[in-house]
Amino acid sequence: MSPVLKTVQTTLSLNKLSSSNYPRKEKKLLQHGSCSFPINNVQLSFRGGFEVVSNVNRSHKEKTCLYDEGELEALPHVQTLREFPREELVAKVVMVRFDSTILLGEKLDLSSQSASKALYTIKYLHECGAKVILMSEWSRKINPKLLDAQAVADILSSVLQLNVIALRCISCKSPLRREDLQKADIFLLENLSEYKEEVANCSKFAELLSSEVDILVNDSFCQSHKVLASTVGVARFCYASMAGFSFEENLHQLKKIAKTKKKPYLAVIGGGNLKRNAAALQFLASRCDALVFVGQMSFQIMSALGHSIPTNLVERDAHKAALDIVQFAHDKNVLMSYPKDFWCTNQHLPTELEVFPAHGVSASWLPVDLGPRSLEEIYSLVTNSKKIIWIGPVKFSSSKPCTVGTSKLAQMLCKQSQCECEITIVGSTARKVIKNESNSLSSFNVLENASVVWEFLKEQKLPGVMSLDRAYPFEIDWSVAYHDASQPLVVDIGSGNGLFIMGMAQNRKDLNFLGLEINGKLVRRCLDSVHQSGIRNAYFIGSNATTTFRSIVSSYPGELVLVSVQCPNPDFNKPENRWSMLQRSLIEAVADLLASKGKVFLQSDVEAVAMRMKEQFLQYGKGKLHLSHDQYNIRINGNAWLEENPFGIHSDWEQHVIDRGAPMYRLMLSKSTGS
């Protein structure tokens, strides 16, 4: 038995780690991949996606399919301000990218959820003791009072009931200085719309914006489909990037669209540009039971179904895309509904209106609104649905959206929302109409920016979401993962093939071992090995530990006594790499969660990497970590290192290095007893 590890184990008491800073979630055990293995006589099988087993203590287990791998990749679970520890915000400089359309409009609706959450993001950070720097773009089109940064700062001061100071650093190309932040607690940068570097995602501009900034909080969901310096670029220079409360709520609403638990699921689709939105329509057809077209796209669908449609109403080059959608819906047994009649206006006498059947519109007449038969059919479909999404305006020509048809549709949805029907409204126009009809949006899920939703429906990655740090989306039932979840925990970050974890688990039955590995295939192999060997004190999770370490380990009921980082990829872990393993957020999490006298074991076959890991842990360890000097017994290039692996168990790469006779650079850090 290793004396070092024995010392770690014997000197630590088994205190439960506090997770009071995180919201409680339903306990679930997540398994990965296409493998099958029993845990506590429970057989878990996977076929290319993810499944969650809940209520593991019952003899009959219920499985809930979450998302397939593609959806998880397109819309990952990100770090949020809600889940980030409050104490980590104290005295930090936090930059908030806020949504000007929410907070700077002529009439701020404080009753709306989006406004209240956007304000709460800023107030919450202020209450936590952070220095807050606000940034956004604005225009006098949304509010004529938005003359300059000072005027905007005054508006925000009034809304927040806090003093907001306008700063001039972008126009001067002068990086923000720490002493500038002593003047107040909340600051506002200049109008981002005045700088072309913003939309170009200029790296130097992003670096200027983020000078002296520790953490980025993105609370501008409406810009998440764009690559901007203030969202994507700045994230590269901050040690932590997360979603604010408003952003998180919108992300939650977006994810709801893909869920299909409630049936029948109806999609009401307006607007045009069928060819551009073809992928989104196929996505909806794969999840919905019926597609109801109430806009210009309906003409293209009718043409694909063989109806005679005037050429001026049909979108060019979209016929094949429409045929593909019709065929896809047919194969999926999805109902496709289109208008059966229209209110039409005479092109020569614009004030003259008449109802025409959809297949019999005269040449000199132009459809402008839904006819009575069309509304009756829509009403029938709406009243029989348990879930509805409305995206796109009720519009059939280049004129303004149809007011009567839109109003009638809104009335139907308002009535149906009182019948336990989950309804999502997409777009600012739809939101305004619904609010006019019901005076409240509390019964609806609302996503104001339709462009973001269309991109999501096309299964495109949203740059503003992808730039945020990841968080582990599930709470783990540790009693299923381990035979005794109260035992001290050892975590190997970047566990690879799992040789270190497996070897240690066989030697030390009194400890639990957890491997965190970003490569899903390696995780599946390791879980298979755990099953085949019958080991009950080893487990592996597929995740990016750089951003998920805290959310995973903080829920463990026993103490964290050892963390190891062994042979990280030297190319991937260059200092300038935004996604290198050893980020400040990870090191701070390790320092916080490690038990008193707990150890951190670092090793690499590249001396520069080992030195950099050592420097980073000492720099970002909050003064809680120090070198165990008595352990070092060899010197290479003037630096002291451990000659032997103190645990006697080698990782796969370590064994490869030893076999070729090359040196390993090892060191051990210990957490101070008073930390």
Amino acid at 530: V
219 and 329 inside one domain: no
Strands (E), 59-207: 62-68, 93-98, 131-135, 164-166, 186-188
236 and 275 inside one domain: no
> Closest by alpha carbon to 491, among 542, 563, 550?
563
Alpha-carbon torsion (521, 522, 524, 529), positive or negative:
positive
> Closest by alpha carbon to 10, among 559, 643, 646?
559
Query: How far is it, in rounded angstroms, from Cα 62 to Cα 467?
Result: 34
344 and 281 inside one domain: yes
The pLDDT value given to residue 56:
29
Residue 647 lies in a domain: yes
200 and 272 inside one domain: no
Query: How far is it, in rounded angstroms, from Cα 554 to Cα 560?
Result: 9
481 to 23, 29, 39, 282: CA distances (angstroms): 21, 8, 8, 39
Tell me the pLDDT band of 380, cut-offs 50, 70 and 90.
very high
Tell me the pLDDT band of 402, cut-offs 50, 70 and 90.
low
648 and 561 inside one domain: yes
The pLDDT value given to residue 151:
93
Last residue of a domain, one of 224, 248, 272: 248
Query: How far is it, in rounded angstroms, from Cα 501 to Cα 512?
Result: 9
The pLDDT value given to residue 171:
81
Q: Which residues contact 174 (CB under 8 A, 6 or more apart)?
A: none
Range of the domain at 344: 260-438
Q: Which residues contact 36 (CB under 8 A, 6 or more apart)?
A: 43, 44, 45, 46
The pLDDT value given to residue 463:
96
Average pLDDT over residues 326-349: 93
Residue 380 lies in a domain: yes
Give the rounded distance of the alpha carbon of 69 from its chain centre: 14
As beta bridge partners, residue 267 has 291, 389
Query: How far is it, in rounded angstroms, from Cα 594 to Cα 598?
Result: 6
Residue 551 lies in a domain: yes
Residue 293 lies in a domain: yes
Query: How far is it, in rounded angstroms, from Cα 468 to Cα 218?
Result: 8
Residue 28 lies in a domain: no
By the 10 Å C-beta count (0-12 exposed, 13-18 middle, 19+ buried), 649 is classed as buried
The pLDDT value given to residue 73:
61
DSSP for 6-53? HHHHHH---PPPP-TTS----B-EEE-SS-EEEETTEEEE-SSEEEEE
Contact 540, 484 (CB under 8 A): no
> Closest by alpha carbon to 605, among 644, 659, 657, 564?
657
Last residue of a domain, one of 187, 214, 248: 248
Residue 603 lies in a domain: yes
Tell me the pLDDT band of 94, cut-offs 50, 70 and 90.
very high
Higher pLDDT, 310 or 371: 371
Q: Which helix H or strand E contains 248, and what residues bound it?
A: helix 245-258
First vs last C-alpha separation in the chain: 27
> Closest by alpha carbon to 425, among 415, 410, 408?
410
Give the rounded distance of the alpha carbon of 354 from its chain centre: 49
237 and 304 inside one domain: no
Average pLDDT over residues 480-501: 95
Tell me the pLDDT band of 551, cut-offs 50, 70 and 90.
confident
> Closest by alpha carbon to 632, among 620, 646, 616?
646
Query: How far is it, in rounded angstroms, from Cα 654 to Cα 499?
Result: 10
Last residue of a domain, one of 418, 438, 458: 438
Q: What predicted TM-score, i.e. pTM, was given to this entire model?
A: 0.79
386 to 78, 332, 418, 663: CA distances (angstroms): 29, 19, 11, 65
Q: Which of 54-68, 428-442, 569-583, 631-645 has the lowest mean pLDDT?
A: 54-68
197 and 339 inside one domain: no
Average pLDDT over residues 258-275: 93
Residue 193 lies in a domain: yes
User: Which tokens hold the place of 269?
Assistant: 């689709």
If you search the block for the tokens 């679930």, which residue do you land on?
28
Contact 451, 442 (CB under 8 A): no
pLDDT tens-digit profile of 286-332? 999 999 999 999 999 999 999 888 888 888 899 999 999 999 999 99
| Alpha carbons within 13 A on the beta-carbon side of 218 | 34
| Strand, helix or coil for residue 642 | strand
Average pLDDT taken over every residue of the chain: 84
Q: Which residues contact 446 (CB under 8 A, 6 or more apart)?
A: 113, 114, 253, 424, 425, 431
Residue 173 lies in a domain: yes
CATH of the domain at 613: 3.40.50.150
Contact 466, 286 (CB under 8 A): no
Query: How far is it, in rounded angstroms, from Cα 464 to Cα 462?
Result: 6
Q: Which residues contact 638 (CB under 8 A, 6 or more apart)?
A: none
> φ, ψ for residue 158 (rounded to 5)?
-65, -40
User: Which tokens hold the place of 268?
Assistant: 């009401």
CATH of the domain at 273: 3.40.50.1260
pLDDT tens-digit profile of 515-538? 999 898 999 999 999 999 999 999
pLDDT tens-digit profile of 5-60? 443 443 333 232 233 333 333 334 433 333 322 323 322 222 232 222 232 232 22
Tell me the pLDDT band of 359, cut-offs 50, 70 and 90.
confident
Pairing between strand 265-269 and 387-391?
Answer: parallel
| Prior bond of 264 cis (ω within 30°) | yes
Q: Which of 43-47, 382-386, 447-451 has the lowest mean pLDDT?
A: 43-47
The pLDDT value given to residue 311:
83
DSSP 8-state secondary structure symbol assigned to residue 518: S
User: Which tokens hold the place of 572?
Assistant: 């991937």
Average pLDDT over residues 371-390: 96
With a pLDDT cut of 70, the percent of the chain lying above it is: 85
203 and 303 inside one domain: no
265 and 243 inside one domain: no
User: Which tokens hold the place of 98?
Assistant: 């806020």
Please report, to the nearest 10 degrees, the dihedral formed by the alpha carbons of residues 177, 179, 183, 188 taken in order.
Answer: 10
Q: Which residues contact 287 (CB under 8 A, 6 or more apart)?
A: 258, 260, 265
The pLDDT value given to residue 348:
86
Q: What is the 3-state secondary structure (H, E, C) of 446-484?
A: EECCHHHHHHHHCCCCCHHHHCCCECCCCECCHHHHCCC
Contact 293, 305 (CB under 8 A): no
The pLDDT value given to residue 401:
63
Query: How far is it, in rounded angstroms, from Cα 482 to Cα 484?
Result: 5
How many domains, the chain?
3
549 and 421 inside one domain: no
651 and 510 inside one domain: yes
203-229 burial string, b = 16+ CB within 10 Å, else e?
A: eebbebbbbbbbbbbbbbbbbbbbebb
224 and 274 inside one domain: no
